Amino acid sequence: MATEVKKISETLLDLERSLNERWSTGDCHGYLDNYHEDISYFDPVVEKILVGRKSVVEHLLKIYKNPHIVRNEYLDPHLIVSEGGDLAVLSYNLNTFVASQAGGEQPLRAWNSTEVYRLVDGQWRIVHSNWALTKSLAVATAS
Domains with residue ranges and CATH for the chain = 2-133 (3.10.450.50)
Q: How confident is the model at residue 12 (pLDDT cuts 50, 70, 90)?
A: very high
What is the pLDDT at residue 65? 94
Q: Which residues of 90-116 are buried (b: 16+ CB within 10 A; e: fewer)?
A: bebebebbeeeeeeeeeebbebbbebb
| pLDDT tens digits, 34-69 | 999 999 999 999 999 999 999 999 999 999 999 999
| pLDDT tens digits, 81-134 | 999 999 999 999 999 999 999 999 999 999 999 999 999 999 999 999 999 999
**The pTM is what?**
0.92
In whole angstroms, what is the distance from residue 88 CA to residue 81 CA?
Answer: 4
